[in-house]
Amino acid sequence: MTFASVTDALRRYEAELDRIGFRNDFADGLTPQELDAIEAEAGFRFSQDVRAVWAWRGGTSVPSGQRTSQASTIVPYGSFPPLPGAIRSGKGAADAAAELEQIEFDEMNLVMLCSTMQDPFLIDSTDPDAPDSPTLRTVWGEGIFTIPWITVTERIELWITAVETGAWYVDTEGWLKQHNSLLSEEQLVLLGPPGG
């Protein structure tokens, strides 16, 4: 169920981005065999949501270490990492949270959905058989927060709404940007403050 719902939401989101003239440089989605190989290397099972996101697109094709380009962002100011990098970043976020004595996150299998400058979002893949994976937000230096519980599909639906309403737009240089004034207080909490 969630694989299909996440895939459908991502396709509709990409169509909205196309409509407003945003062009990404994402790699092709991963095959089931590629996902299986990365999963084996990661040492934990991926939820259907994680598999759906990186089967849709493989993350930015910008080589590691190069500056983020406009086309490598999936949300305003937030890059879309290739899956191996997303796993490393998720592990780093869990380790950092544990150092802040948030021990409940130490054993979690987290995968970074998008790396924003301020508040990266994570997919919790700890229970790969759960019907929906929750998303969490990490604030560097402050730990991980269970923002109002929201699934991956619900998060992408918020992205679609942000584009449809004009709250997310493409600037003259091709960057995806955010108009805070066009978002409700609840949307700002769920979407997170923009970096920049």
CATH number at residue 184: 3.40.1580.10
Q: Say if 196 falls within a structural domain.
A: no
Q: What pLDDT is stored for residue 118 in this prediction?
A: 54
Q: For residue 33, tell me if it sits in a domain.
A: yes
In 3D, which of 165, 149, 148, 178 has the Cα closest to residue 75?
178
Q: How many domains is the chain partitioned into structurally? A: 1
Question: Is residue 128 domain-resident?
Answer: yes
Whether this model's pTM surpasses 0.85: yes
Tens digits of per-residue pLDDT, 5-43?
A: 999 999 999 999 999 998 888 889 999 999 999 999 999
Within-domain flag for 184: yes
Mean model confidence pLDDT for the chain: 83
Strands 57-60 and 121-124: unpaired
- Domain range for residue 9? 2-191
Confirm whether 98 is domain-assigned: yes
User: Within 13 Å, how many C-alpha atoms sit on residue 37's CB side?
Assistant: 5
Residue 172 in domain: yes
Give 196's pLDDT tier (boundaries 50, 70, 90).
Answer: very low
Amino acid at 169: Y
Half-sphere exposure of 117 (CA within 13 A, CB side): 9
Q: pLDDT tens digits, residue range 106-152?
A: 677 888 888 765 567 889 898 999 888 888 877 767 777 766 678 99
Which residue's structure tokens are 């089931």? Answer: 32
